[in-house]
Structure 1
Amino acid sequence: MTTDTELLEAFDARAKRRDSRRDFFKAFGTASAVAGGFVLATKSDPLSAQAAPSDADILNFALNLEYLEAQFYSFAANGVGLPANLLSGPGATGTATGGRRVTFTDPVVAQYAREIAADEIAHVTFLRSAIGATAVGQPAIDIGATPDGAFSTAARASGLIPAGASFDPYASDEAFLLAAFIFEDVGVTAYKGASPLLANKVFLEAAAGILAVEAYHAAIIRTTLYAKGMATPTAMIGTRTIIEATESVSGARDSLDGASDLDQGVRATGSGATTASNIAPLDADGIAYSRSPGQVLNIVYLNRAAVTGGGFFPAGVNGTLRLSAAN
Structure 2
Amino acid sequence: MSTASHPSLLAPTEKVSAEQLETDRRILAFERSIQHINRRGFLGSMMAAAALATVGVGEARAQASVPITDVLNFALNLEYLEANFYLYASTGTGLSSSLNGGGAAVQGAPGKLPLDANTLAVCQALAQDEVDHIADLRSAITSLGGTPIPQPVINLAANGTITTQAQFIAAARQFTALGGSAYIGSAQLLVSNPAILTTASQILGAEGQHAGVVNYLAIAQGIVSPAIDGQDIPPSATNLFTADAVHALSPLRTPSQVLGVAYRVSSAGTINPPSGVTLGGFFPNGFNGNVKST
TM-score by length of 1: 0.68
Q: Which residue of 2 aligns with 1:184?
A: 176
Larger RCO (CA under 8 A, 6+ residues apart):
1
How far off is 1:179 after superposition? 1.0
* Deviation string, structure 1 residues 263-322 (Cα, Å, up to 9, x no partner): 101137xxxxxxx43324235122222001111000000123221111100001111111
Alignment of 1:10-159 (within 5 A): 30-32=26-28, 41=30, 43-45=32-34, 46-47=36-37, 50-52=44-46, 53-88=66-101, 93-132=103-142, 133-144=146-157, 150-152=158-160
Counterpart of 2:236, as a letter, is R
Task: Mark the runs of 5 or more structure 1 residues left unpaired by the alignment.
Answer: 1-24, 33-39, 145-149, 153-167, 230-241, 255-260, 269-275
Task: Mark the runs of 5 or more structure 2 residues left unpaired by the alignment.
Answer: 1-20, 47-65, 266-272
Counterpart of 2:234, as a letter, is G
Distance 1:95 1:28 in 2: 43
How far off is 1:101 after superposition? 3.3
Matched, 1:314 2:284: yes
How far off is 1:42 after superposition? 6.4
2:27 match: secondary structure: strand
Counterpart of 1:299, as a letter, is V
| Counterpart contact for 1:72–1:143, Cα < 8 Å | yes
Q: Computing the radius of gyration over CA atoms, which structure comes out larger, 1 or 2?
A: 2
Matched, 1:223 2:216: yes
Counterpart of 2:82, as a letter, is E
Counterpart of 2:92, as a letter, is G
Distance 2:78 2:204 in 1: 12
Q: Which residue of 1 aligns with 2:203?
A: 210
Q: Using the aligned pairs only, state the percent identity.
A: 33
2:135 match: secondary structure: helix
How far off is 1:98 after superposition? 2.2
Pair 181,66 (structure 1): closer, same or farther in 2 beyond 3 Å:
same
Distance 1:134 1:104 in 2: 38
Pair 283,291 (structure 1): closer, same or farther in 2 beyond 3 Å:
farther
How far off is 1:44 after superposition? 3.5
| Counterpart contact for 1:300–1:313, Cα < 8 Å | yes
| Counterpart contact for 1:102–1:172, Cα < 8 Å | no
Distance 1:125 1:27 in 2: 35
Pair 182,280 (structure 1): closer, same or farther in 2 beyond 3 Å:
closer
1:263 corresponds, among 224, 232, 235, to 232
Counterpart of 1:61, as a letter, is F
Distance 2:292 2:25 in 1: 21
2:252 corresponds, among 274, 277, 290, to 290
Counterpart of 1:307, as a letter, is V
How far off is 1:262 after superposition? 2.5
How far off is 1:105 after superposition? 4.2
Counterpart of 1:309, as a letter, is L
| Counterpart contact for 1:283–1:289, Cα < 8 Å | no
* Deviation string, structure 1 residues 86-139 (Cα, Å, up to 9, x no partner): 2227xxx42112223333342100100000000001111111111115111111
| Counterpart contact for 2:141–2:147, Cα < 8 Å | yes
Counterpart of 1:151, as a letter, is N
* Deviation string, structure 1 residues 19-58 (Cα, Å, up to 9, x no partner): xxxxxx96995305xxxxxxx7263343577433311010
How far off is 1:85 after superposition? 1.1
How many aligned residue pairs are there? 239
Q: Which residue of 2 aligns with 1:301?
A: 263
